[in-house]
Amino acid sequence: MELLASLELTDFSTWLRESDWGYPVVLCVHAVGMGMVVGITWMYCARVLGFAKEFPLWGFDRLFGLAWFGFAINAVSGVLLFIGEPRRLAVTPAFWIKMVLIVFAGLSLWALEKALHGEPDHGALAAGALGGAGGAIVADASAAVVVTRGAKVAAIASIVFWLAAITAGRIIGYTMPPPPL
């Protein structure tokens, strides 16, 4: 807590907290990053759960590049928001709950990837055999990715963890203790 107090006394922390534009601008950036990360993840999960089946799963590869960019934006803006109010955030349970929920959201996305691509892709092999010399289907291997039950559970978990993380984030604003700690 002393460390956080000294962080709070730095010029940068004071500026973030007290200037007209510091916090509002960082909050703006944080909202845009949220839309990119959660939005793309949700669309991907919807696809895994059977929405827009004609959209190939590999189509999300480049979109996840953007989602990671959004995640980087929010890691940085999140750290800045913490630097601005370290002591008040550290004693707000919703803040720590949000951090844990984001870890879980990430883990379920990792589990989803593993469920889809982790094992030898029997679907693609079968498609390759069917496609024979033409190989047109093999080139589009992920079209043959089998969406397992496990993958669907992981997709639902990811959706729910992000819903919960956003909710916890909102609750932070409502449950933070007042400034003079």
Give the interface with other proteins as residue ranges (CB under 8 A).
20, 24, 27-28, 31-32, 34-36, 38-43, 46, 51-52, 54-56, 59, 62-63, 66, 162-163, 166-167, 169-171, 173-174
Least CB distance from residue 28 to other proteins, whole Å?
A: 4
Residues 124 and 145: beta-carbon distance below 8 Å: yes
Of residues 76 and 166, the one with the C-beta less far from other proteins: 166
Q: How far apart are CA 166 and CA 156, in angstroms?
A: 16
Least CB distance from residue 177 to other proteins, whole Å?
A: 17
Of residues 34 and 111, the one with the C-beta less far from other proteins: 34
Q: How far apart are CA 27 and CA 25, in angstroms?
A: 5
Of residues 135 and 173, the one with the C-beta less far from other proteins: 173
Which token pair is 111? 């589990």
End-to-end CA distance of the chain: 11
Q: How far apart are CA 60 and CA 40, in angstroms?
A: 8
Of residues 56 and 131, the one with the C-beta less far from other proteins: 56
Q: Who's near 136: CB < 8 A, 6+ residues apart?
A: none
Least CB distance from residue 24 to other proteins, whole Å?
A: 5
Least CB distance from residue 63 to other proteins, whole Å?
A: 7
What's the one-letter identity of residue 104?
A: F
